[in-house]
Structure 1
Amino acid sequence: MNTLHAQFPRTTRRLRQLALPLALAALPGAALADDSNKIFTVGGFGTLGVNTSSFDNGDFAVNPFQPTGAGTKKQWSATTDTLAAMQVDAKIDEHWSGVLQVVSSMTAENSFEPHIEWANIKYAFTPDLSVRVGRIALPSFLVSDTRLVGYANTWARAPQETYSLYGLTNSDGIDGKWSQSFGGFRNTVQAWFGRAKGIKAPSAGGTTTEFSMRKMRGISDTVEKGALTIRASAHISQLVFELPASYGSDLLIGYKNYSLGAIYDPGTWFVQGEVALLKRWISAPLFGMPPGSERAFNAIGGYRYNAFTPYLAYSRVGNSTMAASRAQRTTAAGVRWDFYKNMDLKLQLEHVALGAKSAGFFVNAKPGLAGSSGNIATLALDFIY
């Protein structure tokens, strides 16, 4: 762990560059007698979080799949940000490797039943060209690979206004990566195709709705040079609701998602920003859901002073042509304290303002929520092991 800690400076960018699989590769785990011949490594990460909300007519949820949070029935919640994960990496030889990541977090059924977040096998033709098959992280946004790893990020959580715009985090299918270096730049192109089945989301009356995603395909491009990282991503998918036979066909909702993000992190300070666009169209004008689009933006900047990193953040998603507007903006201030090896403590204060006809990303909305504003306070303990 000492070697790992030495290579994990308190910089967001370096931690993202190493990413979780490389971090866990340095952790002790099941291995052969000689560490140089290690095949399996085991590690994990987690967050113990608690937040409170001044809203009393809607629940603050950190992603679209959570059924409850601090707000209508309880002022405090210890479940919305809390999660635990374990990851097993396998390195067979210079060509074959694999990963299994299991995450326990609040589900649409209001439980912490573990689910498989990643499970794939990788074949590397060369160090710069590889293909994976299985359950793979969707590279929809700048920090998609580490969005669940609180320790890898300065903020208490990825901003809802951007990262919940398209809330799915993985797909079952295939992807390929190709990297090249030129003129001091490192460019990585990733293309994928897949689907996701049996997705559950909360609905009215404490029940859940199940749907699937199909024809998921996309491409992303990541450029790195020194302290600068830029990622652009575009993908298309189709959501499928199974309807009774009397409807004649299932309800199909198509999505196109585009994002462009960048981070500049020379060490002592950092700035990061991202823009995203979501477009939607449907097979028929059912349930008051006409075609529409949403535009989102987030930015964060911070300064590192010894073990402390104070930061400011702003994010928003604007009014759209969609029937159910999610217009919301959040202004946040916080501090990260790296008080112990491989652990941090974060305090984040947010002011959330909703559009005039919007419930934002709140769940269990009551009359009077739209157009209101309020405050959220979060205390989170992050760790890797």
Structure 2
Amino acid sequence: MPIMKKSPLSLRAHQGASLLFLAISGTAAQAASLPEWTLGGFGTAGLVHSSERQADYSANVINRGGAGRTDRWSGSVDSRLGAQLGVEFTPRWSAVLQVIAEHNLQNSWLPVVEWANLKYQATPELSLRLGRIALPIYLAGDYRKPGYALEWVRPPVEVYGSLPVSNSDGVDASYRWQAGATNNLTQVFYGHTSIETDDGGKRARGRQLAGLSNTTTYGALTIRASALTAELTVDLVRPLFDAFRQYGLRGGQIADRYDADHKRVAIANLGVSYDTGDWFLQAEGSRLNTRSFLGDKSSMYLGGGYRLGAWTPYATYAKVKANVPNRDAGIDSAQPGAAYLNGQLNALLQRISSQHTISTGVRWDFLPDRAVKLQYDRLRPTGASSGTLVNVQPGFRTAHPIHVVSIALDFVF
């Protein structure tokens, strides 16, 4: 369910995005005859420049990025186009289909199904859904793709990049309830998810994906607490750990520790937003433990802004910290082939993010359903980590500032 802000200014700023989600929130006015159809869309046309020449800036690991080493200015980091079709069959039964085209790991813009589910409104308080459903893990978990619904160019990558998967195939149940002056929405969900990680058909799979989320609103205050667990398997680097297992006990221990093969992963997140309409503050903290080469990370951000008519200047500070080392001694390097395997392992561990970013920007709502944003990020990977960067080259130097400039046009229709 989208989190709908209640302040008048905020409602006006997000009017287009709100209309887009009527099919899901179930708030559309009932028509005299059913079924009732709704059709809408959204998009972002963005350009990103990075000062780093030995790696690419990316919003998450399932987007190849391209700003930095590949291109000085890249349109693939934030640009996307989406369309959403909703249908209300009866007052109790409805369905939604959302399709999005954005840059992916296969270096393609082929559209994919983001949402496709059937909803049953059992009671005014209880609803059930079956199909492909948004994961309600972050504050913006339900609307992280339509950039128009966000004050900034993109959600802070330190937090949102930790879990780039945004949906699952399965079931969920949502229950609305009140406690005094607070309104609550509690969701439980179960399913699975899968993404293709390369052109060779290798995949990352999350099975037995189960979670709980609760969103509380009280006036201008919104709090969302959520947790998720899943059994993760990643085929991409399986040959590396199969090779480690050929090196006796030590090699087997390394493979068992780092191979993402039926590993139980878990993430917990807490987000808080206070939006008066004139100004807003937002903060989130998250912990992700994959028990594999993907790491154990803690992340957070704090941001805010002030609305001056059509203009919204804002700033954020974000940080992610690796709770495990970014290097491992590996197997005895005197053994044939050991140095190569150790190097490949440490290249993987280097990608466990440790980084902090200071961002500032401005949003201009020049039309009711159009917004332009300009944002500057100063990020710095720390320790032996390459941070959230991708396509990292051997000449990359960690622990130095990287400057990123982003321009985005967001729209809904």
TM range (shorter): 0.7 to 0.9
| Partner of residue 201, structure 1 | 197
Residues 333 and 343 of structure 1, relative CA distance in 2, 3 Å threshold: same
Could you tell me whether the CA contact under 8 Å between 2:57 and 2:65 is conserved in 1?
yes
CA contact (8 A) 1:175 1:192 kept: yes
2:77 to 61, 77, 80: 80
> Helix, strand or coil for the counterpart of 2:290?
strand
Relative to structure 1, is the Cα distance of residues 68 and 223 closer, same or farther in structure 2, using a 3 angstrom cutoff?
closer
Equivalent of residue 146 in structure 1, options 143, 146, 153: 143
Out of 221, 226, 233, the position equivalent to 2:226 is 233
Number of the residue aligned with 2:311:
308
Q: CA deviation at 1:358?
A: 0.8
Match of 1:192 among 185, 189, 193: 189
Q: What does residue 399 of structure 2 align with?
A: 371
Q: Is the 8 A contact 2:95 2:118 kept in 1?
A: yes
Deviations 1:156-183 (A, max 9, x none): 0011100011111000000000111231
Residue 141 of structure 1 aligns to a residue in which SS?
Answer: coil
Cα distance, 1:23–1:217 mapped onto 2, change above 3 Å: closer
Measured after TM superposition, the shift of residue 68 of structure 1 is: 3.6
Q: Residues 23-64 of structure 1: CA distance to partner in whole angstroms, max 9, x if unpaired?
A: 8999x9xxx9x7765611100111000011111110011111
**Counterpart of 1:57 in 2: which secondary structure?**
coil
Q: Which residue of 2 aligns with 1:326?
A: 353
Q: 3-state SS of the aligned residue for 1:318?
A: strand
Residue of structure 1 equivalent to 2:272: 262
CA distance in 1, matches of 2:85, 2:397: 43
CA distance in 2, matches of 1:59, 1:162: 18
For the pair 1:213 / 2:206, whether they are aligned, the reply is yes
Report the CA distance shift for 1:295/1:344 in structure 2 as closer, same or farther (over 3 A). same
Cα distance in 2 for residues equivalent to 1:384 and 1:361 = 29
Match of 1:144, SS state, is coil
Q: One-letter code of the match for 1:189?
A: T
Kept in 2, the 8 Å contact 1:293–1:322? The answer is: no
Q: CA deviation at 1:356?
A: 2.2
Residues 210, 115 of structure 1: CA spacing in aligned structure 2 closer, same or farther, 3 A cutoff?
same
**Distance in 2 between residues matched to 1:12 and 1:358, nearest whole Å:** 42
Map 1:11-90 → 2, pairs under 5 A: 18=18, 20-22=20-22, 37=34, 39-90=36-87
Matched, 1:253 2:263: yes
Q: Can you give the 5+ residue segments of structure 2 that lack an aligned partner in the other structure?
A: 1-6, 246-251, 327-348
Amino acid at match of 2:183: R
Amino acid at match of 1:153: L
Is the 1:131–1:175 contact (alpha carbons within 8 Å) kept by the matching residues of 2? yes
* Residues 112 and 12 of structure 1, relative CA distance in 2, 3 Å threshold: farther
Alignment counterpart, residue 360 of structure 1, candidates 387, 392, 400 = 387
CA apart distance, 1:253: 2.6
Does structure 1 retain, via aligned residues, the 8 Å contact 2:35–2:90? Answer: no
Identity of counterpart residues, as a percentage?
35
Q: 1:343 aligns with which of 347, 352, 370?
A: 370
Distance 1:13 1:231 in 2: 21
Residue equivalent to 1:285: none
Instruction: Determine if contact 2:16/2:412 at 8 Å carries over to the other structure.
Output: no
Structure 1, unpaired ranges of 5+: 1-6, 283-288
Contact 2:134 2:142 in 1 (8 A): yes
Q: Aligned partners of 1:53, 1:181: CA distance in 2, in Å?
A: 47
Relative distance call for 1:95 and 1:65 in structure 2 (3 A) is: same
Matches within 5 A, 1:89-104: 89-104=86-101
Aligned to 1:128: 125
Would you say the 8 A contact 1:328–1:353 is kept in 2?
yes
Q: Distance in 2 between matches of 1:227 and 1:36?
A: 36
Q: Is the 8 A contact 1:319 1:355 kept in 2?
A: no
Q: Which amino acid aligns with 1:174?
A: V
Q: Which has the larger radius of gyration?
A: 2
- Maintained 8 Å contact 2:287/2:299: yes
Query: Which structure is higher in strand share?
Result: 1
Out of 261-270 and 291-300, give the one that drifted further.
291-300
- Any idea what SS the aligned residue of 1:146 has? coil
Q: Summarize the Cα distance change of 1:14–1:104 in structure 2 as closer, same or farther, 3 Å threshold.
A: closer
In structure 1, give the amino acid aligned to 2:216: V
**Residue type of the alignment partner of 2:396:** G
Q: Is the 8 A contact 2:47 2:75 kept in 1?
A: yes
Deviation at 1:17, TM superposition (A): 9.8
Q: 1:335 and 1:277 mapped to 2: Cα distance?
A: 29
Which residue type is aligned with residue 371 of structure 1? A
Distance 2:108 2:128 in 1: 34
Tell me the secondary structure at the aligned position of residue 158 of structure 2: helix
**Quick one: distance in 1 between partners of 2:173 and 2:9?**
30
Q: Which amino acid aligns with 1:273?
A: A
Backbone CA RMSD of aligned residues: 2.9
> Does the residue aligned with 2:67 lie in a helix, a strand or coil?
coil
Determine if the alignment matches structure 1 residue 113 to structure 2 residue 110: yes
